[in-house]
Amino acid sequence: MAEPDQSQTPESSRLRIRRWILIITFLLIPVTIFYISPIVIMMGASEGIVTGSFLLYIILFVLSLFAGRIWCGWLCPMGACQEIGSPLIKKTVKEGWPNWIKYGITVLWIAAIARAFLAAGGMKGIDPLYGTVYGVSISSVQVLMIVVMIFAGIFIVAFLTGRRGFCHILCPIAGIMVAGRKIGNFLGLSTLHLSAAADRCIDCMTCSEKCPMGLDVHSMVRSGKMECPDCILCATCADVCPEGVIRYSTKGKKFPD
Ligand code: SF4
Ligand code: SF4
């Protein structure tokens, strides 16, 4: 049987669009990094200032109630950095205790932010542009060098541990979004998720090979459990599946025939 021409499907357009979004989000780091940085939020807290990154994390938490880790899959520059370098990363992160480290980091990070605000005498003001110069994050060679070193560190973690290893093991933002996902599911909200028609699966394993998080997507399809805390809802598995087995879906919606 002739292979379907995936280049003509809307799904593969989505794959290309996501790649370009990740490249653009990476190139915008000199402007945007202070609005995303988990470190800048602590610097602001130590002065009692609610920064742009603080506001962003509140938005991301609310987003995660309905769309899980979609930020990680489509917009995060730290994720983009790891995916752009992914041709150099052959390993995948195995399931196990290292995947739990990020939750501990999230708890410690939130506690440190709260402590910094308390030490500063509470929240004294809101400054979405905190730390930037006219809204631009990288405004000196010193800041540039620090940011380059941080992103090099993120990539080295992925290189040593496996695909998107920083997202799997160390990212404090992941913990916030996984918590939001669990709460959204608990409350029965209509959440974006993956659904699969396992009877169409031909066990080609392409979904598992191409998953940027290195998840065993094929087993998820076969077991009927498409919900996974480390799924970033990037839809790569849906876009590369030759049989159209996997789809974005919302809770309660049946897989289309
Ligand atoms: S399971 Fe699919 S949607 Fe989730 S991270 Fe892997 S490729 Fe992306
Ligand atoms: S890519 Fe599609 S057909 Fe191949 S194993 Fe995954 S779900 Fe099954």
Which ligand approaches the C-alpha of residue 218 most closely?
Answer: 2
Q: Is residue 207 part of a domain?
A: no
Q: Specify the number of domains making up the chain.
A: 1
Q: Is residue 35 part of a domain?
A: yes
Q: Ligand 2 centroid to 47 CA: how many Å?
A: 51
- C-alpha to C-alpha distance for 194 and 253, rounded to whole angstroms: 11
- What DSSP designation does 252 have? T
Ligand 2 site, CB within 6 A: 201-207, 217-218, 221, 241, 243, 245-246
Q: Which pLDDT score, from 0 to 100, does residue 251 have?
A: 67
Q: Is residue 21 part of a domain?
A: yes
Which ligand approaches the C-alpha of residue 192 most closely?
Answer: 1
Q: Ligand 2 centroid to 75 CA: how many Å?
A: 26
Q: Is residue 212 part of a domain?
A: no
CA distances from 247 to 118, 125, 141, 203 (A): 46, 44, 45, 17
Q: Is residue 206 part of a domain?
A: no
Q: Which pLDDT score, from 0 to 100, does residue 121 have?
A: 96
Q: Is residue 82 part of a domain?
A: yes
Q: Which pLDDT score, from 0 to 100, does residue 5 have?
A: 44
What is the mean pLDDT of each successive set of 10 residues along the chain, which is 257 residues long?
Answer: 43 89 97 94 97 96 96 97 92 90 97 97 96 94 96 96 96 95 92 95 96 96 94 96 94 51
Q: Which pLDDT score, from 0 to 100, does residue 11 have?
A: 52
Q: Which pLDDT score, from 0 to 100, does residue 252 have?
A: 52
Q: Is residue 249 part of a domain?
A: no
Range of the domain at 82: 6-189
Q: Is residue 77 part of a domain?
A: yes
